[in-house]
């Protein structure tokens, strides 16, 4: 089980790191929101622990951002804020459980197990997307083309998921920037083009039908027939 621990207090972070590794988790740590976001974009975690008081941003904002990036793993909020309002806010904004500091390690471990058992998105959501011979497993965050696995980063997966959900329709660069990167205004950057280029290199291999089409001056479309 891969776990991302976002906690800026060094003592708590190292204590938790040791304890969680002992409990069998494979732990990555971040001390601020920026690092956490980067790790979450590049890796797939099964569960996250997020402290609310981070040096560069509020933990709630981080959780919202991670959800936007397509992170579906359960999030346990760890915080010194004990008020009912704080807890409700945390749970309403993307957290799955809330534990206040100081906490007992046994309780933290029990809550993690509980979250992992519950796992996954609600049963009403589709867990697979299929467009022609392209298939996305939304729970495992795995993609295949013609049955062969594609090695995608988290961000590439989210981008491909967005294209699949809109298969056959043209999506513009600003739509992609908004949905995948959470930027409302199109900055002077070719981030979308670069990611599409890399994604296409992985999805549309040699000799295969090109699924990701460029609509010059407009955007992109994922072919669905």
Binding mask 1-40 for Ca ion (x = CB under 5 A): -------x--------------------------------
Question: Among residue numbers 106 through 125, which ones bind Ca ion (CB under 5 A)?
Answer: none
Q: Which is nearer to Ca ion, 9 or 135 (CB)?
A: 9
Q: Which two tokens stand for residue 183?
A: 């930027």
Q: Which is nearer to Ca ion, 53 or 120 (CB)?
A: 53
- At residue 23's C-alpha, the angle toward residues 73 and 52, to 5°, is 45
Q: Which is nearer to Ca ion, 29 or 166 (CB)?
A: 29
Q: Could you tell me the smallest distance in angstroms from the CB atom of residue 22 to Ca ion? A: 23
Compute the distance between CA of residue 104 and CA of residue 186 in angstroms, rounded to an integer: 46
Contact yes or no for 135/161 (Cβ under 8 A): no
Q: Which is nearer to Ca ion, 28 or 161 (CB)?
A: 28
Query: Dihedral angle at the C-alpha atoms of 198, 199, 201, 203, nearest 10 degrees?
Result: 170
Per CB under 5 A, the segment of 44-52, 127-135, 143-151, 159-167 that binds Ca ion is: 44-52
Residue 53 makes contact with Ca ion by CB under 5 A: yes
CA distances from 180 to 19, 55, 133 (A): 34, 25, 23
**Count of alpha carbons within 13 Å of 61, Cβ hemisphere only?**
10
Question: Among residue numbers 192 through 211, which ones bind Ca ion (CB under 5 A)?
Answer: none
> Using the rule CB under 5 A, which residue among 28, 51, 96, 161 binds Ca ion?
51
Three-state SS string over 13-41 comes to: HHHHHHHHHHCCCEEEEECCHHHHHHHHH
Q: Could you tell me the smallest distance in angstroms from the CB atom of residue 8 to Ca ion? A: 5
Q: Could you tell me the smallest distance in angstroms from the CB atom of residue 7 to Ca ion? A: 7
Q: Could you tell me the smallest distance in angstroms from the CB atom of residue 55 to Ca ion? A: 8
DSSP 65: H
Contact set with Ca ion (CB under 5 A): 8, 51, 53
């Amino acid at each position: 089980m891969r776990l991302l621990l976002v906690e800026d207090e060094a003592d708590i972070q190292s204590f938790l790191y040791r304890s969680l590794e002992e409990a069998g988790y494979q732990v990555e740590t971040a001390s601020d929101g920026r690092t956490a976001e980067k790790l979450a974009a590049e890796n797939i975690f099964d569960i996250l622990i997020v402290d609310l008081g981070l040096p560069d941003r509020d933990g709630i904002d981080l959780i919202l951002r991670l959800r936007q990036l397509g992170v579906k793993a359960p999030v346990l909020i760890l915080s010194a804020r004990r008020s009912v309002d704080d807890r409700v806010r945390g749970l309403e904004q993307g957290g799955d459980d809330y534990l206040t500091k100081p906490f007992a390690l046994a309780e933290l471990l029990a809550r993690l197990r509980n979250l992992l058992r519950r796992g996954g998105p609600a049963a009403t959501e589709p867990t697979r997307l299929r467009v022609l011979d392209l298939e996305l497993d939304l729970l495992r965050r795995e993609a295949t083309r013609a049955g062969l696995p594609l090695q995608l980063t988290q961000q590439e997966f989210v981008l491909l998921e967005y294209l699949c959900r809109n298969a056959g329709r043209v999506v513009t660069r600003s739509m992609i920037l908004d949905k995948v990167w959470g930027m409302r205004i199109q900055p002077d950057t070719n981030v979308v083009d670069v990611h599409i280029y890399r994604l296409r290199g992985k999805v549309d291999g040699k000799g295969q039908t090109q699924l990701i089409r460029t609509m010059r001056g407009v955007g992109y479309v994922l072919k669905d027939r």
